[in-house]
Each structure stands twice: as structure tokens, then as C-alpha cells.
Amino acid sequence: MKEKIIGYTTGVFDMFHIGHLNILKNAKARCDYLIVGVSTDDVVEEYKNHRPIIPFEERVEIVSAIKYVDEVVPQTSMNKMEAYNKLKFDVLFHGSDWKGSDMYNKIIEEFSAIGVAVEFLPHTEGTSSTMLREKLLDK
């Protein structure tokens, strides 16, 4: 039997808000050791078509200071299996807003074959980095 459960979650964590904190808090409540992958600026630009407002190094520093986080690593690719091969986590956490997506259906299939659980945590309604970005750009 495994001594401690290692969890992994990822995010951009741009303009850190309560939704980010809720994901980290809920993930840590379900594992003993939480590793957080913070998306690099290039990864964000690749899949969101814009650079984050807060630079990568500052986002890493912010996430590292959160008491629920045990380790922060750069997320240099959206490939979760690549992250697993480096980190060997037991459970992958993500916000429920991604549940049922083609991307996560494929991840669930790949991880179930190797015994890694995928858990979706409640999405915090009413706040998001996208919403904050739109408000900033609107000003």
C-alpha cells in the first residue's frame, strides 16, 4: 500500500483569484503531497492565443506561497502524460468546467490504463481570469 498520495494539478494562475485558491485547497484536501504545474508564458500563448498579464516567474512565486502547494513545476506542454512520466503522481485534479471535454476524455482513458485517477473539482462560478482580462481590456 502506498504511503502517501501524490496529486497534480495545472493552471495558468494569471491574476490569481478565489477560483484558483479553491482548486488548490480542494486538491490538497484529497492528497498528501500536491504538485502544481504553472503554465509557461509560451504554453499559454500557444493554446489561448495571448500572453498572460502576470509574467511566469511571478505566477510561480505566487503559487509557491500558497500553503496548500507542496511543489511548483513549470508546465511546458499541455501533455499530461509527459508530466506523469516526470512526476509519477497518483491523481490528476482539474476544474469541473473541463469535465466531458474531448481533451479530458482522452486523458481519463490514458490514465485509467496506468492506474492514475482523474478527479474534477468544483468550478467556482462568477470569477475567472478570462472575465478579469475582459474587464481590464474594457477599461
Q: Residue 30 sits in a domain of what CATH number? A: 3.40.50.620
| Distance between CA atoms of residues 65 and 70, nearest Å | 9
* pLDDT at residue 130, as a whole number: 63
The domain of 12 spans: 6-101+123-138
pLDDT at residue 131 is higher than 80? no
Interstrand relation of 33-39 and 71-75 (parallel, antiparallel or unpaired): parallel
* pLDDT at residue 101, as a whole number: 86
Residues with Cβ within 8 Å of 32's Cβ and at least 6 positions away in sequence, in order, are 4, 5, 6, 7
Residue 43 lies in a domain: yes
Nearest to 99 by CA among 115, 75, 118: 118
| Residues in a beta bridge with 119 | 93
For the chain, the domain total comes to 1
Instruction: Give the gyration radius of the chain's Cα atoms.
Output: 15
Average pLDDT, the chain: 91
Query: Percent of the chain beyond pLDDT 90?
Result: 74
Residue 46 lies in a domain: yes
pLDDT at residue 25 is higher than 80? yes
Residue 23 lies in a domain: yes
Grid cell of 45 as nine digits:
500563448
**pLDDT tens, residue by residue, 83-124:** 999 999 999 999 888 788 888 999 999 999 999 999 999 887
* pLDDT at residue 50, as a whole number: 87
Helix ranges restricted to H, the chain: 18-28, 41-48, 56-64, 80-87, 102-112, 129-138
Q: Which residue has the higher pLDDT, 127 or 59?
A: 59
* pLDDT at residue 63, as a whole number: 98
Q: Which helix (H) or strand (E) holds 23?
A: helix 18-28
Residue 51 lies in a domain: yes
| Distance between CA atoms of residues 55 and 57, nearest Å | 6
